[in-house]
Amino acid sequence: MLQGKVVVVSGVGPGLGRAVAVGSARAGADVVLAARSGAVLDEVAAEVEQAGGKALVVPTDITDPAAAARLVQSTVETFGRVDVLVNNAFAVPPVLPLAEVDPADVHTELDTDVFGALRLTQLMSEHLAATDGSIVMISSVAARQSRPGFGAYKLTKSALIALAQTLATELGPRGVRVNVVVPGSIWAAPLRQYYDYLASERGVTTEQVYSETAANLDLRRLPEADEVANAVLFLASDLARAITGQCLDVNGGEYHH
């Protein structure tokens, strides 16, 4: 699906970012790995190369304009092109009612989730236009719901969808497609750790917490990181060359959109 392409993934961690990076390599791409944590980047780079792709590790804080510019420069110097940008980076939101949250904390989240994605898009748009490239933004189920305490997260992830739709209109004439994947709960390491915590607090097993959550999904199971990554790879690939400005929800039937 991505043979010969160069994929840049921001926010590479143990969950979806890792799955997108490794999945891209399995699909034939070389992968540029960007995140703040160098240790995680090195681990994922080894998996990318084991999967058959070349990996470029660029520790990057995408809220820093100079660091973001170095990411683009390093990518082009190493591979000579950019075909796909996956804006996956996000900041942990404050879990408080919007009526009580410090606006500065929301601004910090926006800096990563929205302005960081916009910055990388602006810096890479010329290179993406040269390859008829693709951008995939990673939103969240929070954008579809109004759960108490998740207002700040909904605000930023909804803004990311609006950003993608506008960029699709602006960049479409230059051959660049922009789409969004909206995951529900992803059964990967971060969520497993959270469910372990919930189970210990309640005195039940992690499997019980999982089963209670999955009971509300049509498929009765939570999507795994690789399954969500497959949706990202589809939208990034030429199989989706007529698709832009769209949101693809991957949630196992948690809700219908």
Residues annotated as part of the active site: 153
Overall size of the chain counted in residues: 257
Contact present, 60 and 70 (Cβ < 8 Å):
yes
Rounded distance between C-alpha atoms, residue 140 and residue 128, angstroms: 25
> 19-51 burial string, b = 16+ CB within 10 Å, else e?
bbbbbbbbbbbbbbbbbbeeebbeebbebbeeb
Residue in the block written with tokens 């590479």: 12
Give Cβ neighbours of residue 186 (< 8 Å, ≥ 6 apart).
15, 16, 222, 223, 224, 225, 228
Half-sphere exposure of 157 (CA within 13 A, CB side): 26
Nearest to 150 by CA among 84, 95, 189, 73: 95
